[in-house]
Structure 1
Amino acid sequence: MRNDAELLTIMFNGAGVRVQTLNLHHLELAKREPAFRASIESATWVTADGWPVRRAFNALGYRTERVTGYDFVSNLLNDGRTRSKALGLLGASPNVATRFKHLTDDLGIQLVYSDQRRREEWNVRSIVDELNRASVDILMVAVTPPWGDLIANEIFESGFQGNVIAVGGAIDIATGQQSKGPDFVGKFGLVWLYRMIREPKRLFARYIFRCLPVMILDVIPIEIGAKIKRRGKAVQVRVTAHTADKELA
């Protein structure tokens, strides 16, 4: 998935698609939880949600922009094509869900399904039946990883006929319940720092003790390896050209 526009096009035009956003937290969870890793690998499409993953993708030759759950929700709400689609929301708090319903109503968007029960109360088969009866085109799962991504995958694998994407806290931001932060925070790749300063008790251990090692041990080596490979190819080209010049002489 290369950019926001491509994601919207796929969600509008396709059917039976599951999109997986991918950031350092997802990578860390995938390393220690086989079921979570399998859910990522089975996704129809994957987006680079976060600059470290985007850099790793680009180093591997997959040219992509940063495509986040929040940007998707924001673009979805501001795209005229959304008025012809039926949306569903699974997760978020009741207060946030009510705000989101008011927001979609004001924009002339159909939010035809909304479920804010505790995840322990969810029955995937029943949820899928309700979603299909409501003819939901796009389901947004507003639950933090790993649970949001796992339930999104279960719903997708259990016969949901629409498209599904786990958006984490994007609905909270879209409704003003949480702050996205100043533009420069995203521009300089400091969203993680901004969020950690605002919620240190919840995020400090996650970012410093879990995500940072993934950055150091996995993402940076990918970038270094890609640079070495490119330099090796450049040297080989120069040697080949030099040899050819000698033969011609």
Structure 2
Amino acid sequence: MHLPNLLIAGAQKSGTTWLHVALSQSKQVFGSKRKELNYFNKGQLGDIDTYRSNFPDKRGVKYYFESTPHYFRAIKGKVDIAERVSKTIPDAKIIVVLRDPVARYESAYIHHMMRGRFPYEPIIDNFSEDFGLIRLGQYAKNLTHWQKKMPDIGVFLYDDLLEDKVIFVDSIMSYLEIENDIRPEKLEFRRNDKSKKIKRAGWDQMPKMSPELRQKLYEYFQSDIDDLEVMIDRDLGAWRFDS
């Protein structure tokens, strides 16, 4: 049994879930059967041997990993996830997948609606800090904290996954410094079918964010987006509100 030497986190659940399935197609990478183990973000750390049992020895595997989106945050209360990771698996690589924070807010809000945490409404007009809706979208702040604890963090954008799955996975494998042995046809799968979600929820339509809330959120996240743009040396113009 192993401890993981790779963690996937980030602000977009569908992105981390997709990447978990994609990387598991490689003979060199082994992902935990249950994707979100939530080991490092609970009030108290669980049994390390139970955690280790998710990563059985596999011949030819260079990376053992799990994917828990909410690992990527700064300190919450007394829980410092980055500090816990640095003490448990200090040499691990960290992959974070980031999405436009306003689109992430909308997606997360709908997720919480489906779980009954917010009432259903066809138009989302609620600026809320509940369930980390704001905190988890402050990427520059969260990345700054993580970089103080872990030296090897690869930042990737959900936009690139949507643009070209093959190139996106190529970039991940390059970061891991291993040959990409995943055939392109293995990447043609869906992990986020909106029509099925609507049917399961019993809704007539998928909720949408109001233009007023969208603009308010873009204005709120603007300074953090500016900081992140510098930190990762990427043009994030697509994440800015175009009135």
TM-score in same-fold range (> 0.5): no
Decide which structure has the larger Cα Rg and report it: 1
Q: Return the structure number with greater helix share.
A: 1
